[in-house]
Amino acid sequence: MTDQFPVEWLDPSDAENSWEWDDMHMPGALSALAGDYIGVIGAGMAYGHRRMGTPVEMRVRVWNGYAYFGLATDVPESEQEAMWERRTVAARAAIQDADTYWHERALPEVTATYAWVAARPVETMPLSELAETWDEVWARISRCWAIHFYAIRGPYQVLDDLVDLYESVVDAQTPGEALGLIGGGDHELQAVERDLERLAAIARATPGLAERLCEPGAAVEQLAAVPGAGGFMDSLSSFLATHGHLGQNVDDLTLASWAEDPGLVLAELDKRIRTPGTITAEERRARLSNEADLLADRTRTALDADPEQLARFEALLADARQIGHLTETHNYWIDRMAQASLRRFVVRVGQRLADAGAIEEPADIFHLHRDEVPELLRGGGDRRALVADRRRDLARFAAIVPPRRVGKSAEDGGGDRFDGVRLTSSDPDELRGTGASAGIVRGPARVTLTQADFEAVGPGDIIVCPSSNPSWVPLFAIAGGLITNTGGVLSHAAVVAREFGLPAVVGTADATTRIANGRLVELDGSSGIVRLL
């Protein structure tokens, strides 16, 4: 495309596609193996389309370290609208079995997969056998992503239908107002914050422990040495056993989870000890649940004269409250857990390669491609020079601002409720986005791009980031507000923000580059306007 961002078409037909950089899930440059992992995610998306009977092919390409997705189909353009309408019908059919599928099929299979991967005797099996195991692990994790993109179809569809009905009869103040109807649910995201609260309470109640935990660079080993800290250490171990797969701020296989780097959790506990919150997770959940019931009553009043529509509303509301949470809790169980599971396995294999002299250290395996690892395990060799070259390339890629689209030109459409639209403003002191979670707040901006930036986010700060996922729950519970570059009212960031009553504006396009770290800002989660003060 340009000298700075060259693009090589792997398939001649790729040039006829419009490719969009997925800066919501992968906003940074990816290493070789992390890029290959995105191909696994793309294969899961393709499976989801096939399962819905949609004749499209989801293609994934990584150019210069950045992940691009393109949709290809042989269906004539004149017939594509009907194709997507059939997909909607299929998604509505999936609503009724979504809860059963999730609890009886999806969760048992994915958790069994993670247990199987963890149990592989990587450290002792012959390298030739490990090469076979490598391929099997990737295949099983790929299956988890296939489950992901079928399991979410019904939940997203029921929320879309609920919003459509609500907005047809109620004058909504914000695009995301209707989604308040399912607020206050009790699920895994709420459990993360409740369990963090318990850990902080135990630390405060243990003489000497809170002081040690709040020291710069406090480590688990130091805390364990505090007299009487046994109860806290047991609770921390339990927390990490349950939620330790979280911690990665984006879909990048190189990122460590909380279980691998407990210091990430200790930093969040430090904040809660220094500045205890004024409302507990359970109080917040109960408030949102009450607000959801009031919103439902308001809708019933608006539909009182239309029994047929009222009955439809009640059915949609019941389904949405039962399965709507899966639009985000699936991320907890699959996006985050699959990534953590595969990463731990990869690092263990990396240790075997480092022991064999093929690479310098275990993390160097991330600079190899997926299909290069079995070859290296079977035949041996020295890839240290190759790793050094690719590390230099990655550093160069990280300095690039990639184009949002490559290939065939395409105009920005209206966007669905997940991806949303990117809004712009001609006012240098104003940004515009989509109001995703109501509330007007002011505070200092904390531009949060990496895991390392999490520690700087304090109570009342306004998080400014490309996107988010369940790993951001500890920040959302203490922050004053949220501004993202990407997403619509059903994006991960918007869903989690509403779950924690956090005022949010999403889809501003360039907040992370236009807002300076520490700048005082005001955001309106209803109008979608952000003002630089």
Q: What is the pLDDT of residues 265-279, one digit of tens each?
A: 999 999 988 888 778
- CB-CB neighbours of 41 under 10 Å: 25
Gap between the Cα atoms of 245 and 264, Å rounded: 12
Residue-level pLDDT at 11: 86
Q: What is the pTM of this model?
A: 0.94
Which sequence spans correspond to the domains of the chain? 430-532
Is the CA virtual torsion 272, 273, 274, 280 positive or negative?
A: positive
**Quick one: what percent of the chain has pLDDT higher than 90?**
81
Rg from Cα positions in the chain:
24
Gap between the Cα atoms of 477 and 277, Å rounded: 9
Choose among 380, 351, 381: nearest CA to 366: 351
Residue-level pLDDT at 413: 58
Residue-level pLDDT at 2: 61
Gap between the Cα atoms of 415 and 179, Å rounded: 18
pLDDT means over runs of 10, the chain (533 residues)? 80 89 94 98 94 92 96 91 94 96 98 98 97 98 97 96 92 84 93 94 92 87 91 96 96 96 92 85 93 95 94 97 95 97 98 96 98 94 96 95 88 72 84 92 95 92 93 91 92 89 92 94 94 95
Residue 71: strand pairing partners: 58
Residue-level pLDDT at 412: 60
At the top level of CATH, the class of 430-532 is alpha beta
Gap between the Cα atoms of 487 and 267, Å rounded: 28
Residue-level pLDDT at 391: 97
| Tens-digit pLDDT profile for residues 75-100 | 999 999 999 999 999 999 999 999 99
| Tens-digit pLDDT profile for residues 497-506 | 998 899 999 9
Mean predicted lDDT score pLDDT of the chain:
93
